[in-house]
């Protein structure tokens, strides 16, 4: 069936199988491989995209349900010449090791900051609690997100020599 | 020593592509005509294969090829013994053992094809507990495993030691003997005994195993995958395919995490064999369930400790027994057992020492390499045991450890003279950071339902692979424009190897970091390297890079010397320039020296190799130099235990790690936080639950890995006990970061509640049960 939706700000029209997931459509049909497949069961968050601004596991979203809606993937967050502040912060704070959880993490973080520009550390941790990371121990990621709050909190510990 | 580039917090080199979502992992790559492969696995833990009927599956439209054991030119493989098979032919030995592989036009068709394959099994008796596997008459997993004689373990106070005159599920027996433990115990004022169980764990790197294989017309097999040891797998795969090594090319895709889960050949042979058979590229990607069922695990271990001490806290004698559950195949069981045995002394001086380690086959998932590699399990037992002794001595756990801590010049239990021993400094710094003396109140004094406690664990962790040669190599090229390329055989699986090597090269050459490019990840062109394992990356590859860069720098100096009319030893490099030491204004850019050399027909290209002089241990005494050096670490944890629910909240961990020299301090600190996250899973959350060899929790809902809300406040402390044989004094960090965490938390739980659990993980139900049964004084 045909679905039409806004993807990273542009209208797209795709022919999809009714039982396909948004993750399958993004990676398999639209060839956007920035969104990752970690478990295909909604348990790891590597496939996180924004659906109407809300972070969702795209492996749990049936593609027909995004008809006439807005999807943002990692490819829509920023470009090399125009990085999103979160992308810059992740690079600066050592929040990217293997990088597999990174696209999902960035989008969960963006959704949080779009709704709450000044979250507490606890709110940040809760916002990314659905994104599993095995490499960093989360702390550099939390610090990176914190550095993007409007208050620009001072970061303790990890950047001191 | 003032460095230009080392020790600075420079940005990791490969992160831009990752934050943009442009990094290409194996599953992101698509090739024209690509097929998709799936594996049919055994549903039984131990069975003979009577027949395999692939007829219906072969006729399914879209199925391109199906392979079974007879299609594999050389079916045997394994990290340390070729007792594992690519596709089971005569029997299966664990639930998940691969039997058939299918290539089809889509993943869905391949999965449907698996459903149509009919395998008939004759179930065999199986063993799931190593105690059963060691009994006389136990079902035998493998032929040709040498029988071993009695070795009297005391399983528990109630069980009798099994009579084990002969058993054929015992794969390995390792020994270390120092002095006379029996005499030592006689001369001790106090002898304490403990036993401890650790759990089966899964690596859970977020990127599943995935590979793409392509065979070219001239018979060259290229496999794009994510491995920790590409050259090792190149050799294994060449053997499986029956082709020369030079006909196998392993290309490393962007790597989505490792932790030991990428050590074994896993997806590659299926993709390769099917690519060969179909003449088309074949991609294979494991499901998350396959990650739990088909990948290797951390070895479940049982450890017994007996230590004799004087009243003043001096350790006189220690006897250890380690039993490691290998699962169905050998993989990296023997050397992880060896590392565990060598580290079973803990970071302490022990004049009389005896360890016996045993590796036993069971019909469980295969144990393999996992961060900490045997030492993580044994040291969890050892450090909780140390705390028990301190309690019996009525001694401060910090003071007890300091009293026995190794120092420069002491010998390890393998008889090796130790240097760069930073253990005491790590103990002092970590305990100071947590205000240990202020917070140390015994559990007897704690009241109320929610209690806080602190605990310490001090460990040693070896650098590089046990007892073996494990070389690294490096090529350094300086271009006429003054930029340089460094090529290594080590792969970067996210830990930052490329960044660290760039820093070492930049510092050695005297060039800005931005002028250095590090390349790696192709067995066709890289120098040989054993792999990204055993915390060896910085030490071995750093040394190779430093040697090659030093040689390249010397070439630059010689050319510049002629140009500047001075002798080469009057020159130095810095910031991309070669200058006269006494008159720094007299200089030329490195690019000019490189260009001159080029025009003379001598482009600057140098190669170097480095191999640590590891020796094998004597099989009877365990004496030898299995590693070039050790790193040391101490973590102190503060926990809060709710005695009503058994839930443990880790409030803060101070982690002091002796890394020799931090080439990149920010990367070291993030390894520490990552390692603590990993260790917390071992302490509190992770447990692969099996029932008759079947995995009951092969998913993230029931197998809990730490999330962002589980992580405590972490204070990473870098200790630099210079390693003279390391590049700029560096040792390693990759694994030691996760090793002290579990025992530190266990000891903190004791300090909070008076409960000393001897089984990992410390789940709420275990804690509640222990609290319920605890003597009333502790509540």
Distance from CA of A110 to the nearest CA of B (A): 13
* C-alpha dihedral, B421 to B427 to B433 to B435, nearest 10°: -160
Tell me what pLDDT residue B775 has: 60
Q: Which of B206, B495, B711 sits opposite A139 (nearest CB)?
A: B711
Tell me what pLDDT residue B158 has: 32
Say if residues B739 and B656 touch (Cβ distance below 8 Å): no
Distance from CA of A33 to the nearest CA of B (A): 6
Give A77's contacts in chain B (Cβ within 8 Å).
21
Query: Nearest chain A Cα to B702, which residue?
Result: A43
Candidates B7, B12, B21, partner chain A, best to mutate (most A CBs within 10 A):
B21
B568: left (phi over 0), alpha (psi -120 to 50) or beta: alpha
What average pLDDT does this structure show over B232-252? 97
> Facing residues of B357 across strands?
B174, B322
Closest CA to B675 of A96, A140, A133, A137: A137
Instruction: Quote the CA–CA distance of A59 and A62 in Å, as a whole number.
Output: 8
Q: How many CA atoms lie within 13 A of B251 on its CB side?
A: 14
Closest CA to B757 of B664, B684, B691, B655: B684
Strands (E), B362-507: 450-463, 472-478, 484-488
Say if residues B635 and B741 touch (Cβ distance below 8 Å): yes
What average pLDDT does this structure show over A16-35? 98
Tell me what pLDDT residue B114 has: 98
Beta-carbon neighbour count of residue B760 at 10 Å? 28
Q: Work out the end-to-end distance of chain B between its first and last CA atoms, rounded to an integer number of angstroms.
A: 54
* Coil, strand or helix at B385: helix
Residues in chain A: 161
Residues with Cβ within 8 Å of B160's Cβ and at least 6 positions away in sequence, in order, are none
Q: Which of B17, B705, B711 sits opposite A132 (nearest CB)?
A: B705
What average pLDDT does this structure show over B313-322? 98
* Coil, strand or helix at B557: helix
What average pLDDT does this structure show over B368-380? 97
Q: Which of A102, A136, A161 sits opposite B670 (nearest CB)?
A: A136
Closest CA to B381 of B340, B415, B353: B340
Candidates A24, A100, A120, partner chain B, best to mutate (most B CBs within 10 A):
A100
Closest CA to B682 of B380, B345, B289, B340: B380
Query: Nearest chain B Cα to A26, which residue?
Result: B28
Instruction: Quote the CA–CA distance of B259 and B605 in Å, as a whole number.
Output: 34
What average pLDDT does this structure show over B132-137? 88
Instruction: Quote the CA–CA distance of B494 and B274 in Å, as a whole number.
Output: 30
Say if residues B688 and B625 touch (Cβ distance below 8 Å): no
Kindly report the average pLDDT of chain A as a whole number. Answer: 94
DSSP state of B537: I
Asked whether residue B543 carries a pLDDT value surpassing 70, the answer given is yes
What average pLDDT does this structure show over B561-565? 95
Instruction: Quote the CA–CA distance of A61 and A51 in Å, as a whole number.
Output: 9
Distance from CA of A18 to the nearest CA of B (A): 15
Least confident piece of the model among B129-138, B392-401, B474-483:
B129-138
Kindly report the average pLDDT of chain B as a whole number. Answer: 94
Say if residues B422 and B592 touch (Cβ distance below 8 Å): no
**Partner-chain contact B19 A87, CB within 8 Å:** yes
Give B677's contacts in chain A (Cβ within 8 Å).
133-134, 136-138
Asked whether residue B14 carries a pLDDT value surpassing 90, the answer given is no
**Partner-chain contact A132 B675, CB within 8 Å:** no
Instruction: Quote the CA–CA distance of B421 and B424 in Å, as a whole number.
Output: 8
Beta-carbon neighbour count of residue B620 at 10 Å? 9
Beta-carbon neighbour count of residue B772 at 10 Å? 9
**Partner-chain contact B206 A46, CB within 8 Å:** yes
Instruction: Quote the CA–CA distance of B169 and B359 in Å, as a whole number.
Output: 8
pLDDT tens digits, one per residue of B157-173: 333 344 443 457 999 89
pLDDT tens digits, one per residue of B62-85: 999 999 999 999 999 999 999 999
Tell me what pLDDT residue B504 has: 97
What average pLDDT does this structure show over B415-444? 95
The percent helix, strand, coil of chain B (3-state, each to 5) is: 30, 25, 45
Least confident piece of the model among A54-63, A138-147, A149-158, B430-439:
A149-158
Query: Nearest chain B Cα to A130, which residue?
Result: B707
Helix (H) or strand (E) holding B104: strand B98-104
Q: Which band of pLDDT confidence, cut at 50, 70 and 90, is reported for residue B93?
A: very high
Q: Would you tell me the crossing angle of helices B375-393 and B741-753 to the nearest 10 degrees?
A: 30
**Partner-chain contact A96 B677, CB within 8 Å:** no
Residues with Cβ within 8 Å of B61's Cβ and at least 6 positions away in sequence, in order, are B109
Asked whether residue A146 carries a pLDDT value surpassing 80, the answer given is yes
pLDDT tens digits, one per residue of A102-118: 999 999 999 999 999 99
Cα separations (Å) of A83 from A26, A88, A106, B15, B16?
22, 6, 12, 13, 10
Q: Which of B16, B493, B665 sits opposite A98 (nearest CB)?
A: B493
Cα separations (Å) of B298 from A3, A54, B529, B710?
46, 37, 24, 22
**Partner-chain contact A134 B24, CB within 8 Å:** no
Closest CA to B749 of B717, B708, B778, B719: B778
Distance from CA of B175 to the nearest CA of A (A): 34
β-pairing, B577-580 with B571-574?
A: antiparallel
Closest CA to B184 of B359, B310, B76, B288: B310
Instruction: Quote the CA–CA distance of B518 and B506 in Å, as a whole number.
Output: 11
pTM of the model: 0.95
Asked whether residue B621 carries a pLDDT value surpassing 90, the answer given is yes
ipTM over 0.85: yes
Tell me what pLDDT residue A117 has: 95
Q: Which residues in B499-514 are b (16+ Cβ under 10 Å) and which e?
A: bbbbbbbbbbbbbebe
Asked whether residue B231 carries a pLDDT value surpassing 80, the answer given is yes
DSSP state of B586: S
Q: Which of A33, A43, A94 sits opposite B12 (nearest CB)?
A: A94
Say if residues B94 and B366 touch (Cβ distance below 8 Å): yes
Q: What is the CA radius of gyration of chain B?
A: 27
Give B703's contacts in chain A (Cβ within 8 Å).
none
Asked whether residue B717 carries a pLDDT value surpassing 70, the answer given is yes
Give B738's contacts in chain A (Cβ within 8 Å).
none
Task: Write down the number of H helices and E strands in chain B.
Answer: 19, 30
Question: What phi and psi values does residue A108 have, to the nearest 5 degrees?
Answer: -60, -40
pLDDT above 70: percentage of residues in chain B: 96
Give A124's contacts in chain B (Cβ within 8 Å).
708
Instruction: Quote the CA–CA distance of B348 and B355 in Å, as a whole number.
Output: 15
Tell me what pLDDT residue B773 has: 87
Give B262's contacts in chain A (Cβ within 8 Å).
none
Asked whether residue B307 carries a pLDDT value surpassing 90, the answer given is yes
Give B7's contacts in chain A (Cβ within 8 Å).
161
Say if residues B683 and B761 touch (Cβ distance below 8 Å): yes
Cα separations (Å) of B685 from A70, B36, B65, B201?
37, 35, 42, 10
**Partner-chain contact A74 B670, CB within 8 Å:** no
Q: Which residues in B650-661 are b (16+ Cβ under 10 Å) and which e?
A: beebbbbbbbbb
Instruction: Quote the CA–CA distance of B48 and B90 in Å, as a whole number.
Output: 6
Residues with Cβ within 8 Å of B509's Cβ and at least 6 positions away in sequence, in order, are B476, B478, B484, B516, B549, B552, B553, B556, B573, B590
Q: Which band of pLDDT confidence, cut at 50, 70 and 90, is reported for residue B151?
A: very low
pLDDT above 70: percentage of residues in chain A: 94
What average pLDDT does this structure show over B763-769? 96
Residues with Cβ within 8 Å of B246's Cβ and at least 6 positions away in sequence, in order, are none
Tell me what pLDDT residue B74 has: 96
Give B500's contacts in chain A (Cβ within 8 Å).
none
């Amino acid at each position: 069936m045909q679905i039409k939706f806004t993807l990273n700000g542009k209208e797209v029209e795709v022919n999809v199988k009714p039982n396909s997931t948004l993750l399958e459509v993004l990676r398999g049909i639209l060839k956007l491989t920035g969104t990752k497949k970690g478990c295909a069961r909604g348990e790891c968050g590597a496939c996180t995209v924004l659906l109407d601004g809300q972070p969702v596991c795209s492996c749990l979203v049936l593609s027909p349900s995004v008809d006439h809606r807005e999807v943002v993937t990692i490819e829509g967050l920023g470009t090399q010449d125009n990085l999103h502040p979160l992308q810059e912060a992740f690079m600066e704070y050592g929040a990217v090791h293997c990088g597999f959880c990174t696209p999902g993490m960035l989008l969960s973080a963006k959704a949080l900051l779009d709704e709450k520009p000044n979250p507490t550390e606890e709110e940040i941790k809760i916002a990314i609690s659905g994104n599993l990371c095995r490499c960093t121990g989360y702390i550099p990621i939390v610090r990176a997100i914190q550095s993007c709050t409007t208050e620009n909190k001072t970061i303790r510990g990890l950047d001191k020599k | 020593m003032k460095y230009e580039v080392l020790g600075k917090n420079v940005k990791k080199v490969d992160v831009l592509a990752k934050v943009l979502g442009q990094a290409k992992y194996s599953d992101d790559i698509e090739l024209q005509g690509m097929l998709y492969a799936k594996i049919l696995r055994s549903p039984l833990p131990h069975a003979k294969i009577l027949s395999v009927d692939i007829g219906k599956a072969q006729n399914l439209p879209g199925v391109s090829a199906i392979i079974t054991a007879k299609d594999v030119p050389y079916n045997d493989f394994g990290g340390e013994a070729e007792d594992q098979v690519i596709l089971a032919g005569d029997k299966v030995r664990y639930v998940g053992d691969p039997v058939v592989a299918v290539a089809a036009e889509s993943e869905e068709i391949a999965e449907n094809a698996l459903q149509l394959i009919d395998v008939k099994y004759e179930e065999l008796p199986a063993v799931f507990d190593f105690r059963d596997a060691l009994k006389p008459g136990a079902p035998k997993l493998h032929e040709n495993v040498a029988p071993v004689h009695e070795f009297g373990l005391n399983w528990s106070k109630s069980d009798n030691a099994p009579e084990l005159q002969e058993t054929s599920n015992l794969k390995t027996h390792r020994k270390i003997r120092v002095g006379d433990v029996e005499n030592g115990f006689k001369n001790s004022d106090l002898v304490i005994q403990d036993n401890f169980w650790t759990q089966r764990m899964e690596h859970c790197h977020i990127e599943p195993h995935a590979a793409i294989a392509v065979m070219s017309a001239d018979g060259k097999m290229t496999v794009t995958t994510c491995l920790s040891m590409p050259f090792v797998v190149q050799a294994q795969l060449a053997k499986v395919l029956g082709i020369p090594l030079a006909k196998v090319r392993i290309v490393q895709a962007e790597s989505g995490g490792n932790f030991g889960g990428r050590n074994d050949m896993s997806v590659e042979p299926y993709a390769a064999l099917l690519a060969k058979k179909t003449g088309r590229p074949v991609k294979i990607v494991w499901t998350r369930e396959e990650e739990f069922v088909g990948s290797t695990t951390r070895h479940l271990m049982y450890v017994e400790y007996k230590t004799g001490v004087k009243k003043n806290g001096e350790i006189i004698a220690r006897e250890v027994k380690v039993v490691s559950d290998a699962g169905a195949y050998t993989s990296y069981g023997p050397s992880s057992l060896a590392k565990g045995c060598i580290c079973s002394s803990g970071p302490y001086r022990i004049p009389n020492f005896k360890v016996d380690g045993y590796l036993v086959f069971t019909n469980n998932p295969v144990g393999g390499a996992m961060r900490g590699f045997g030492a993580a399990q044994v040291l969890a037992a050892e450090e909780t045991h140390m705390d028990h002794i301190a309690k019996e001595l009525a001694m401060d756990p910090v003071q007890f450890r300091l009293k026995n801590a190794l120092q420069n010049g002491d010998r390890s239990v393998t008889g090796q003279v130790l240097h760069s021993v930073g253990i005491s400094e790590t103990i002092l710094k970590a305990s100071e950071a947590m205000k240990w003396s202020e917070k140390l109140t015994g559990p007897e004094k704690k009241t109320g339902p929610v209690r806080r406690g602190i605990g310490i664990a001090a460990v040693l962790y070896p650098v590089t692979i046990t007892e073996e040669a494990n070389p690294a190599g490096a090529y350094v090229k300086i271009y006429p424009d003054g930029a340089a390329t460094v090529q290594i055989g080590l792969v970067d699986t996210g830990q930052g190897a490329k960044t660290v090597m760039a820093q070492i090269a930049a510092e050695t050459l005297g060039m800005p970091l931005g002028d250095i490019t590090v390349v790696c990840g192709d067995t066709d062109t890289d120098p040989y390297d054993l792999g990204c394992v055993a915390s060896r990356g910085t030490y071995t590859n750093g040394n190779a890079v430093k040697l090659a860069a030093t040689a390249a720098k010397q070439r630059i100096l010689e050319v510049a010397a002629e140009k500047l009319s001075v002798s080469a030893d009057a020159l130095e490099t810095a910031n991309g320039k070669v200058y006269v030491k006494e008159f720094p204004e007299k200089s030329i850019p490195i690019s000019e020296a490189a260009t001159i050399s080029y025009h003379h027909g001598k482009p600057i290209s140098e190669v170097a190799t480095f191999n640590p002089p590891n020796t094998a241990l004597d099989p009877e005494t365990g004496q030898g130099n299995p590693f070039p050096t050790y790193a040391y670490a101490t973590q102190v944890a503060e926990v809060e235990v709710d005695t009503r629910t058994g839930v443990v909240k880790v409030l803060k961990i101070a982690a002091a790690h002796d890394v020799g020299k931090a080439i990149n301090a920010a990367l070291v600190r993030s390894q520490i936080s990552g390692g603590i996250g990993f260790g917390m899973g071992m302490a509190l959350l992770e447990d692969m639950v099996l029932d008759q060899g079947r995995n009951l929790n092969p998913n993230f809902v029931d197998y809990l890995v730490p999330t962002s809300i589980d992580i405590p406040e972490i204070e990473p402390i870098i200790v630099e006990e210079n390693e003279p044989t390391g590049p700029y004094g560096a040792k390693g960090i990759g694994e030691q970061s996760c090793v002290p965490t579990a025992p530190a938390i266990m000891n903190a739980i004791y300090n909070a509640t008076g409960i000393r659990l001897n089984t990992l993980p410390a789940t709420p139900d275990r804690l509640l049960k222990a609290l319920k049964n605890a003597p009333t004084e502790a509540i």
